[in-house]
Amino acid sequence: MNYTISHIASIIQSKNQISSTEKINYLLIDSRKIVFPNQSLFFALIGARRNGHDFIEEAYERGVRNFVISEPIKTTSFADANFLIVDNTLTALQTIASYHRKQFQYPVIGITGSNGKTIVKEWLNQLLQPEFHIIRSPRSYNSQIGVPLSVWQMNAQHTLAIFEAGISTIEEMSQLEAIIQPTIGIHTNIGEAHSKGFRNKEEKLKEKIKLFKNCTSIIYCKEDIEESLLPTEIEKFSWSRKTTADFFIKEEIKKNSETILEVVYKNQSHTISIPFTDAASIDNSITCCCTLLQLGYNFTTLAPRLQQLQAVEMRLQLKKGINNCTIINDSYSNDISSLSIALDYLTQQAGNHTTTVILSDILQSEYNEETLYQQIATEFKHRNIQRLIGIGETIFKYKNAFNSIPQTEFFISTENFLTQQSTHQFKNEFILLKGARIFSFERINNWLEQKVHQTVLEINLSAIAHNLKEYQKHLLSSTKLMAMVKAFSYGSGNAEIARVLQFHKVDYLAVAYTDEGIDLRNAGISLPIMVMNIDEAGFDAIIEYNLEPEIYSFPIYQSFHKYLQQQAINNFPVHIKINTGMNRLGFDLNEIQSLSLALKQNNTMTVKSVLSHLAASDNSLFDDFTFQQATLLNNACELLQNSIGYTFIKHIANSAAIFRHQELQMDMVRLGIGLYGIDITKNTELNLATVATLKSTIAQIRNLKAGETVGYNRNGKINKDSTIAIIRIGYADGLSRKMGNGNGYMFLKNTKVPIIGDVCMDMTMIDITGILEEVKEGDEVEIFGRNININTIASLIGTIPYEVMTGVNQRVKRVYLDE
């Protein structure tokens, strides 16, 4: 359906009249997720920590012209923008979604329960896809905000909808029921998750089943619901292991990786196989089986489909830690049920390794505290957990419950733990982090990954800002700027550099790999981020962290398209890479027509930009080739734009081209190495500041006699009595071995001093003979920076500045300065 902004104003009862006929197809709550700004309506939601009204200017600058607000703002600052004024922007969002839902008559399945909502939704999608065109909640969009955004995706092409509904306290489900308006209800289970907002389990259950008020049927487990609480007129489909039910589980047999169920349905016995053995997956599979039976499927059809169910990845994160440790970070939630699941995963992954759990207080109001921690201790003992670190006042209070655990330590707070512990106390073990959000376990996660080294790379953030402005002087006012922060921001540190760039309002960031984008999102970076090299392993993270992938070939296009289909995601923003002569990544020109057709037909992706990579923009000998590349890109863009029917950003200019070829600025430029103070064009008009300074210290000073040698293979020959200093840096830190034996030098006490002997793995020797000032152990030495230019280092070792910058190892500590 198409809505005009004036129609929406009427639906949500805006306090002001809007006569505009602009079409609205997209509802926005996040200024980072703008794809079609001219068709979007931005709701300025007010949350506990952020106020959407603070992001109106940002959304406006990115092209949004329609807003729903509840606080007074200076609307005259936003020419040609429409502002719908309401009492509550969240209520307005829910109202328009509810109205939209009423326009469709096909079946809608509403799912609620303490756990398993997302799994059941995804499995039903797998099972029902052959017969239905399904719209479903993306990811876990089941909240007061997520539900209306999910329902808004309904259209006339769908034949079935599946939506989750999650609540955290009383008086929430009625709003979700009014939006989803389910015709079929599913209750997965009633457990401990999200119990804090309820006095007891009965209160939570009564709130949840409000979702089924107007359903024609409901699927549920008899052990979880008191049937008298359900509406009398509703058709009930129950399942049970203990008592008579529509679907009775007579026997469960687990063998290898599957579970065989002997069931009774309509007085007939049936056997079905489920490809899982854990209790949660079995229950969720049964719920799905019952739903298909309720929809009229028979066992001949559903049994083979159940065998093909695929696991849905959960939120547990597995990563490498310090001292050969492995970290399992599951600090998304912390209740007894999810703890049990996480403990299973820990023991499964750890094998014979030592298992450690770092656990915060469990925030579940309906449990007796002492009983709760005794139960947890029993779970630990059952799984042979060797070590427990408890954090929080409550778990500290009941620490004696864990006497059966071989090694225990308890701390009042996360801060208390971090100040009293040492990373050396964690070695060769699997560590599960399980903490409620208020305990900020991400600090512990970061601490367990901490890297320490005396040699430092000093980054001047003020110089970054200065260099940005130097290049912006040469841009047209309409030209956008994408800052390259790939390869750890050319070795300088992703998050810190990105924060400066965000403060100075660059338009885009670009990283090489998904992990780099994740780091930026975790650091609070909200700018759009393009990821230049993606693979299937990173698709989940691309979506979860709002990253925008570069699509450069048909195989990667098809893989991502298939993934988006599976996730029920449409119009996901992507960037198309064209090969115009670099002959690296990119679609060739003869592939553009087929690509255009696929993009137009499939509708899973929206093109945010089309780009290419200049091969030699810094070299005047290849200027003709540079302009040829630009022409080819323009030709490709014209073909693509004519086919898909909308405009996008075009960009090809890099740091060198920004200055040398200003006519190639197009819609956006990509600023890379120049941002870090390195001008490979060697143009004196650019007044760039030094950003990075690599420093180390003197570990020891030696006085040597003529005829002695220094280092491996006795390559450093002493021709006269000399004094040498051993510096705490080597090729493992990124100092090239080509710098050895007098080829390179360092800067000490205002003097350039030569390197003597080979560069070693962790140490390098310099000849400090003749320095007039006193030199002592611990003195600082510069490897490159203000006194020794990176271009000079690159020339000495026969490489390019990029390699010198990115070659500085991650074990080298980064220190940030802001002048």
- At residue 32, the 3 state secondary structure works out as coil
* Short-list 788, 585, 592, CA closest to 695: 788
Phi and psi, residue 558, nearest 5°: -65, -40
∠ Cα 503 60 485 (to 5°):
35
Selected catalytic residue, list 250, 319, 427, 712: 712
For the chain, how far is it from start to end, CA to CA, in angstroms? 54
Active site residue 562: no
The span from the CA of 553 to the CA of 532, in Å, is 12
Strand order in the sheet with 184-187: 134-136, 160-164, 108-112, 184-187, 217-221, 235-240, 247-255, 258-265, 268-274
- Contact call for residues 803 and 794 (beta carbons, < 8 A): yes
Are 67 and 117 in contact by the 8 Å Cβ rule? The answer is no
Distance in angstroms (rounded) separating the CA atoms of residues 308 and 310: 6
Identify residue 239 by its one-letter amino acid code: W
Q: Are 414 and 390 in contact (CB under 8 A)?
A: no
Q: Which amino acid is at 719?
A: N
Looking at 486, 577, 608, 650, which residue is catalytic?
Answer: 486
- What does the angle CA 731 – CA 736 – CA 739 come to, to the nearest 5 degrees? 120
**Best CA proximity match to 125, nearest among 773, 568, 691:** 568
CA–CA distance, 711 with 725 (Å, rounded to integer)? 12
Phi, psi of 547 (to 5 degrees): -100, 155
The residue to which tokens 């929406």 are assigned: 8
SS (H, E, C) 360-411: ECCCCCCCCHHHHHHHHHHHHHHCCCCEEEEECHHHHHCHHHHCCCCEEEEE
Is the four-CA dihedral 81, 86, 89, 93 of positive or negative sign? negative
Distance of CA 439 to the CA centre of its chain: 21
- Alpha helices by DSSP H, 491-612: 494-503, 514-522, 539-544, 554-566, 592-602
Residue 781: closest CA among 800, 796, 767, 802: 767
> Bridge partners of 670?
482
b (16+ CB within 10 A) / e for 605-632: bbbbbbbbbbeebbeeebeebbeebbeb
Q: Is 427 helix (H, G, I), strand (E, B) or coil?
A: coil
C-alpha 328/C-alpha 331 separation (Å) is 9
CB half-sphere exposure, 83, CA atoms < 13 A: 19
Nearest Cα to 379, choosing from 394, 393, 362, 392? 362
Beta strands (DSSP E) in 442-597 are: 456-460, 480-484, 508-513, 529-533, 548-551, 572-577
φ, ψ of residue 562 in degrees (nearest 5): -60, -40
CA angle centred on 582, ends 469 and 635, rounded to 5°:
85
Q: Is residue 646 among the annotated active site residues?
A: no
> CA triplet 800, 805, 806: central angle to 5 degrees?
100
* Residue with the two structure tokens 């080509």: 738
Task: Tell me the three-class secondary structure of 691-709, residue by residue.
Answer: CEEEEEEEEEEEEECCCCE
Catalytic residue numbers, as ranges: 486, 712
